[in-house]
Structure 1
Amino acid sequence: MLTRAWLCLGRLLGKLLVLLLIVGLAGWGLSSAYYAWKFSGPVSIDEQIPLGEADLTQGIIEDAIRIADQHRDNTRVLRDAHAKAHGCVRAELSVLPTLAPELRHGVLSEPGKTWQAWMRLSNGNALQQFDNVGDARGMAIKLLDVPGDKLLTSDQGATDQDFVMINHPVFFVRDVAEFKQFFAAKASGKRVLAFFPSWDPRTWELRHLIIALQTLAPAPASPVATTYNSITPFKLGPHNIKYRVIPAPQDCPSYQLPKQNQDLPNFLRSALHQQLALDRMPACFALQVQRQNPQHYMPIEDTSVQWDESIAPFETVATIKVPGQDFDSTEQNLFCDNLSFNTWHSLPAHRPIGGINRLRKEVYEAVSVFRHQRNSAN
C-alpha cells in the first residue's frame, strides 16, 4: 500500500516536472520571439529627448547627494558611486600609427600621438566593501594637456579628456525615467522595488534585474585583467560609437601575477601593487570603438541593449600602457580621491549622447561640487 502510494506520488511529481519544463520552454520561446520583434531595426542615429527628462534629472540629483552624504567616511564625503579606488596610476595612451582616416577625430586625430594620462581603477559601489563582494569594477581615464574648447562651459580652459567605463557591456536601466525609479529605491534602501515597482507584472523589469545580477560579478584576479566598457554611446566625429578597453598582454613583457589572497579586503589593490610597484611590470590595454549600424537594433537611448559585435565589430584605435610605478602613497591616494571624472570633460568630437549621458552631465557635476565643497570645509 505504502509502495503504491510512493509510486503514485513519483508519477505525479514526474508529470509536474514535465509540465513545468514545457511551460518554461514555451515561456522562453515566447520571450525570445518577443525580444526578437522588439529589438529589430532600424533605429535613429539622432538623440530623442523625452518630455519631463529635466524634472526627473533634478530628482536624481537630490537622491545622489543624499546618498553621498549618507556614505561619509568619518568627515569626508565619498563619491556616490565607485567610492573605493584600487589605485590611481599614471598611464600613456598612444593612437595607432595606422589608424583609418575615417576614425581620426578628437584625441585620435594624430596617428602615433601619445597622451599622458591618469587612470583610476575602482569598485562600483558607494560603500567601501570587501573586494570579494560581487560588484561592478570601474576604469576612468583622464588624458592630460588636451587642447581645444570642452563641452562643459565650466571647463573652458580645462585641458583634460575623460573616458569612464565599467566591466560589463550593458547597463541595467534603459533610460532616465527607469534610472529615477532605481535611484529613488536605492536611496530608500529598497532597491529591489526598482525592478518590481507594483503588483502589475507588466511593470516588472525581469530582464534588467538579470543584467543587474550579472553586473554584480565576482572580482577579477586583478583590476588590469578585465574588459571595461563605455556602456553608453558617444560621438567620434560623425560616427555614433561605443568604446571599450581590453587587456592586451601581448603588448607587454610576459608576466604572471602571483596568486592573491582573495579573502583580504583590499586584494585588488594588493594585486595592482604587486605588479606595478613590487615586480615593476607594466600593464597593457587596447582602446577599441564599435560603430553604430542603424539598420540593426543598436539604439542610442536604451543602454540595456548590447550592440551586436557580429554586425558591428570593435576596432582598435589606440594602445594604453600603465608602466611599473609606485602609486600607493597617502598623497597620491588623496589626489586621486579629489579627481573628478566626467564623460562631459570632453572635446566636442567625443560628445556623449543618449539619455543616460545627458543625466550624467547634470548629476556628476552637482555631486562633484557638493563633495568638494564639503571636503574643503572639513
Structure 2
Amino acid sequence: MDTVKSSVSAAATTAKRTLTSAPPADAYLPWNAPGVETIKDDEEGKAVKIADTMNKMQRHNFDQGLFAHPGTYPVIARYANEPVFLQPDTAPGPRGMGLKIFNTPTTERRMDGNTNNTPNTQDFLFNNAPMLELTDIDTTLDIMQLREKHFDSSNAALLAATAARTDALKQTAPAMLPNTHIIAMSMFTQSAFRFGDYYGHMGLFPTAPAMKSSDIADRTVPSHAPPTILSDWLVDYFAAHDAIYDFRIQLGTDPLHHPTEDASVVWDERSAPWQTIGSVTFPRQEGVMAPKRRVVWEERVRLSPFAGLEGHRPLGGINRLRRRVYERSWRKRKELNADEYDDVKGVDDIP
C-alpha cells in the first residue's frame, strides 16, 4: 500500500510541476514589462461565460505595497476545502486558505481608489498546490462548462469526461493531492501578483514546531473518518498550539521562465528562490469552528485581492478572469442569502 501511495504521490508531483531551465538571477522584471501579461482579444466574453457557469453551480449549492511598511498588522483567516462538489473531508482534493489583513497603510494607492469609504484591507487567497490546473481562460471555460454539465451526475461521469481530455493528467492532479492535516500544509497564491515594482508568486510556509512535528505533518485522513475530520483536527490543534507561517515570495526575472499567463507552470525554485518577507501568527484559541464564527465568515466577510493595494495587483489571464468571477459570485451570494453586504471592519468583528 505504501508503494502505491508513493507512486500516486510521485504522479501528482509530476503533474503539478513543470520545471524550467532558467539560471538563478536577481534581475527582477517589472510587473508591467512586455510579456508579463498578454491580454487576448476575446477574454472579456469568455470571462462572462465562466462567471455565468459558476453562478449556475452556486444555485445548485444554495509601491512595494504592504511590505514597504514594516510593522504588525491584525489578520483573520479561514481554512476551507475547494472541491468541485460538496464533499466530506475524507475525499482528497485542494485545500485553501483566505487571509484578510487590516489597517494597511493609507498612503498606499488602492486598486479601487482611495476614498473615505474604502476599507484599509488587503486580501490574499492561497491553495495547497503551487500551480493551478486550469492553466488559462480557454481551459477554465472548458472545464467549468464540463463541471456544470455533470453537476447533477455522478462524480464518475465527470472523471470520465475529464479523462478523455488531452490534458487529463493535469486536470486530475488535484484529486491526487495528499489528504493530510491542513495545518501542516504550505499554501500558495498559484498565480502571480505585482510586488511593488516587480512581480512574483507568494506563499505561506508552516514554521511553528507543532505544525512540523511528525504527529501533525504525517497525519493522513483515514477513509473511515468522520466527514468533518479536518475541521475537528483544526479545533484540537488550536486548543493547544499557535500557528506560525513564513510569508515568502518568488520574484520573476523572465516571462518565459516565470510566466503569468499560464498558471499551471510551477516556477523553478532554482531560478526563483523563495524569500521570506514576513511572518503570520495565529495564537492558540478556542472556538475556531464555532457556529457563530462560521456565520460571520459566510455572511459578512468578503475576500477579494482586487479590492486591495495597487502594489499587489493580481496579474495574468487567470486573475483577470477571477476579478469578474469574484464580483459575480459575490452578487449571487447576496441574492441567495437575501441579505445586504456588510463587510467586517476588523478582527473584533469576528466572534
TM-score under structure 2 length normalisation: 0.77
Compared with structure 1, are the counterparts of its residues 260 and 59 closer, same or farther at alpha carbon in structure 2 (3 Å cutoff)?
Answer: closer
Structure 1: which 5+ runs fail to align? 1-34, 73-103, 198-203
Q: Is the aligned partner of 1:47 residue 2:37?
A: yes
Kept in 1: contact 2:200–2:252 (CA 8 A): yes
Kept in 2: contact 1:44–1:299 (CA 8 A): no
- Give the whole-Å Cα distance in 2 for the aligned partners of 1:264 and 1:153: 46
- Give the whole-Å Cα distance in 2 for the aligned partners of 1:105 and 1:251: 32
Whichever residue aligns with residue 212 of structure 1, its letter is Q
- Range with greater deviation from structure 2 (38-47 or 159-168): 38-47
Secondary structure of the corresponding residue to residue 202 of structure 2: strand
Backbone CA RMSD of aligned residues: 3.1
- Give the whole-Å Cα distance in 2 for the aligned partners of 1:256 and 1:192: 33
Kept in 2: contact 1:133–1:219 (CA 8 A): no
What corresponds to 1:232 in structure 2?
191
Whichever residue aligns with residue 203 of structure 2, its letter is R
Compared with structure 1, are the counterparts of its residues 153 and 67 closer, same or farther at alpha carbon in structure 2 (3 Å cutoff)?
Answer: farther
Q: Is the aligned partner of 1:129 residue 2:119?
A: no
Q: Is the aligned partner of 1:323 residue 2:283?
A: yes
What corresponds to 1:213 in structure 2?
172
**Which gives a bigger RCO, structure 1 or 2 (Cα 8 Å, sep 6+)?**
2
- Deviation of the 1:328 alpha carbon: 2.4
What corresponds to 1:333 in structure 2?
294
What corresponds to 2:103 in structure 1?
145
Q: How many residues align?
A: 301
Secondary structure of the corresponding residue to residue 363 of structure 1: helix
Compared with structure 1, are the counterparts of its residues 218 and 252 closer, same or farther at alpha carbon in structure 2 (3 Å cutoff)?
Answer: closer
Secondary structure of the corresponding residue to residue 115 of structure 1: coil
Kept in 1: contact 2:261–2:316 (CA 8 A): yes
- Give the whole-Å Cα distance in 1 for the aligned partners of 2:274 and 2:238: 28
Q: Is the aligned partner of 1:118 residue 2:76?
A: yes
Whichever residue aligns with residue 243 of structure 2, its letter is A
Secondary structure of the corresponding residue to residue 246 of structure 1: strand
Compared with structure 1, are the counterparts of its residues 250 and 170 closer, same or farther at alpha carbon in structure 2 (3 Å cutoff)?
Answer: same
Given the alignment, which residue of 119, 131, 141 partners 1:180? 141
TM-score under structure 1 length normalisation: 0.72
Q: Is the aligned partner of 1:308 residue 2:298?
A: no
Whichever residue aligns with residue 60 of structure 1, its letter is I
- Deviation of the 1:70 alpha carbon: 0.4
After superposition, residues 250-289 of structure 1 pair within 5 angstroms as 250=209, 257=216, 262=222, 263-277=225-239, 279=240, 281-289=241-249
CA-to-aligned-CA distance 1:329-366 (integer Å, 9 cap, x gap): 22111011122212213100000000000001000011
- Give the whole-Å Cα distance in 2 for the aligned partners of 1:235 and 1:162: 13
Kept in 2: contact 1:167–1:227 (CA 8 A): yes
CA-to-aligned-CA distance 1:46-87 (integer Å, 9 cap, x gap): 311011100001101110100000012xxxxxxxxxxxxxxx
After superposition, residues 1-20 of structure 1 pair within 5 angstroms as none
Compared with structure 1, are the counterparts of its residues 123 and 176 closer, same or farther at alpha carbon in structure 2 (3 Å cutoff)?
Answer: same
CA-to-aligned-CA distance 1:130-152 (integer Å, 9 cap, x gap): 11101100011000122435313
Kept in 2: contact 1:61–1:366 (CA 8 A): yes
What corresponds to 2:129 in structure 1?
168
- Give the whole-Å Cα distance in 2 for the aligned partners of 1:56 and 1:295: 24
CA-to-aligned-CA distance 1:227-278 (integer Å, 9 cap, x gap): 111110010001110011111124989895597874111111111100113x
- Give the whole-Å Cα distance in 2 for the aligned partners of 1:44 and 1:194: 37
Compared with structure 1, are the counterparts of its residues 145 and 187 closer, same or farther at alpha carbon in structure 2 (3 Å cutoff)?
Answer: same
Whichever residue aligns with residue 362 of structure 1, its letter is R
Compared with structure 1, are the counterparts of its residues 161 and 330 closer, same or farther at alpha carbon in structure 2 (3 Å cutoff)?
Answer: same
CA-to-aligned-CA distance 1:82-114 (integer Å, 9 cap, x gap): xxxxxxxxxxxxxxxxxxxxxx82111122x11
- Deviation of the 1:211 alpha carbon: 2.8
